[in-house]
Amino acid sequence: KNQVEQSPQSLIILEGKNCTLQCNYTVSPFSNLRWYKQDTGRGPVSLTIMTFSENTKSNGRYTATLDADTKQSSLHITASQLSDSASYICVVFDRGSTLGRLYFGRGTQLTVWP
């Protein structure tokens, strides 16, 4: 069964601190993995997309890593800001599907306190 599991479910950190969010997946065949940021009451916005040949990708203060062998990914946020408070969703794309099927994790709810 294709699944995407994220941890922790929620996380509270102080402004300026770093944090790392985890994602494990069982989706096969694997095409790419995406991290989305979803603000409360809004739609998800893409942060990074990585294929199986990419180990790391950065987008500003966000750095995603991927280990396709162990089927694990992480999202590292550096020098957190209040605006980073959101749900971070790990999404895996199944290339075996002509639709372009995405499998979503439940997200990690990050709260940044001043």
Partner 1 sequence: EADIYQTPRYLVIGTGKKITLECSQTMGHDKMYWYQQDPGMELHLIHYSYGVNSTEKGDLSSESTVSRIRTEHFPLTLESARPSHTSQYLCASSSPGLAGGLQYNEQFFGPGTRLTVL
Residues making contact with partner 1 (CB under 8 A):
4, 9, 31-32, 41-46, 49-54, 89, 93, 95, 99-102, 104-107, 109
Output 31 or 72, the one with its CB closest to partner 1: 31
Query: In the numeric block, which tokens belong to residue 45?
Result: 């916005």
Closest CA to 59 of 34, 83, 82: 34
Query: In the numeric block, which tokens belong to residue 29?
Result: 């065949």
Output 84 or 107, the one with its CB closest to partner 1: 107
Output 11 or 49, the one with its CB closest to partner 1: 49
Helix (H) or strand (E) holding 58: strand 56-59
Q: How far is the CB of 16 from partner 1 (least distance, A)?
A: 27
Distance CA 11, CA 109 (A): 6
